[in-house]
Chains A and B, each alone.
Chain A
């Protein structure tokens, strides 16, 4: 299986390191979930992986190329083969939903207007927003905005898609439909996804593998079955929704660092 994304000894953070020794690989056609408590640095890691926040040390390899060692134009080329849906939807407020989704096509391809329109229509249908082209992002609900953002992130049919909390704060039905869309992306379009979420039902529904972040590092990684069986306190807490694991006294260090 080919590797699409790899982090090597990555240290990321803003001024001080937030996550250290991050080593992970993501292969083709899989959905990898990043799990971790609020504020543990999931979005920060994603920003580093998507080229927005240079790492403090270590490397990010996307499609085998070291992202931060490339010249800006080459890095942009590489990023165009990925798509990112942000935690805040980050739709362009001054453009309609259709224009938002069409933007990458308009800017980065030479496709004719009529084809762009058709592709936007198809993609919006796929995320359940058929007919919403001319609405402004402010005229959508939170869940609809997230889905529009997902449509924009995948409009160029990228091989690798990053989603930050696609179903956070949504009702279970909409959340489930987003999960279903993500799985559809993997199965029908062959897209590889890296998804941040802490909705445990979503993890069970979509993830092939999960990476658990806690205490400023990767504390566990594996298939969902492996993690479900784990007794490591941070992992157990997540999968069984308990504040502290029953059998295993975590060190105070990990707890406090996990929640700060």
Chain B
């Protein structure tokens, strides 16, 4: 049987006498609280009396309801009296502290201070980023000079995870985008009778723009997020501290292998995406235009130069570094609680994609101005 609480209110001059019958527990406390609040708000009530004679059990929700009403009454100059309290009612009320010493609250920061705080945070972040780049480069130099070693097998296993395991999704996307571009090109250029130029357009845009950009975005989602999550989890579980106290540099042990692996995997995947993308385009053109495969690849070989490949691959390297460094940076800055790992991955993805697109735009602008033409 669910606990029940019946109330009856009697007026005695300016006093309201509330008689309770039943249990004052979680299922009944809320209704009582609302009722008592209403009474305590009435103009003609100066004092409230609660009669506990027929109250059975009382739990902390009951105590809370009564003491909140008491506080409210006190603020508005009314009085609250508890009558006929049994032994265990008294014990329950005695558990609630008379007055809780609240630690002095820090004054909320003024907007000026908040601005300062966020500037300090940004500055700290920038410093941390610089030191990660600097320390990892330094460790890289040590490793290159054979003064230090990378953990055995670390680059290979990272390379497998980043490169080989990403191969399918990158190829699939490149193929589909190549096909889409092919359809677009065919319908647009056919109207001018320039259908064969689809091959030129596809080759150039795949190699210079689409493959690097699209691959980078997939790597951000797969690898950048994974780096942030892995390092963040290790940070939160004090594994990074453990490395540091062993005298093992976390930059060399954790970041450098990932950076090296992504420097190989990023451009390799991009190169594959370039060709698979053109393959997707070929499928469409050969069906829609009756352009033989030989002719298609011949046109591409004529229009796409090695310089274009270099352009695409250099961007792929830059994008890969952006991804690895932001993943490491945000992962290493995770603190304390598990939710900070989630923040680290989100930030990595957002910041990487944004920086990649910015760098891409800057690259396009510079190469155009420098006279290379698009």
Contact = CB atoms under 8 A, between A and B. Distances in A.
Interface string A1-12: 000000000000
Contact of A82 (B238, B241, B245): B245
Interface string A61-100: 0000000000010011111101110101011110000000
B238 A80 contact: no
Nearest to B138: A72
B249 A104 contact: no
Given A92-B234, A93-B233, A107-B253, A86 B242 contact: yes
Interface centre among A82, A86, A162 (most CB of B within 10 A): A86
Contacts of B241: 47, 52, 86, 90
Nearest to B251: A72
A75 B238 CA distance: 19
A103 B238 CA distance: 16
A58 interface: no
Nearest to A76: B247
A216 B164 CA distance: 54
A106 interface: yes
Instruction: Name which of B151, B233, B247, B253 has the most chain A CB atoms within 10 A of its CB.
Output: B247
User: Of B103, B242, B244, B249, which is in contact with the most chain A CB atoms at under 10 Å from its CB?
Assistant: B242
A238 B246 CA distance: 33
Nearest to A50: B245
A76 B248 contact: yes
B246 A108 contact: yes
Given A47-B241, A83-B245, A107-B246, 6 more contacts: A52-B245, A76-B249, A86-B241, A90-B237, A93-B233, A108-B247
Interface of B: 103, 151-152, 233-234, 237-239, 241-242, 244-249, 253
6 contacts: A51-B245, A78-B247, A80-B246, A106-B152, A107-B253, A260-B103
Q: Would you list the 10 A-B pairs with minimal beta carbon distance, nearest first?
A: A76-B247, A80-B247, A79-B247, A84-B245, A90-B242, A90-B238, A50-B245, A104-B246, A86-B238, A52-B241
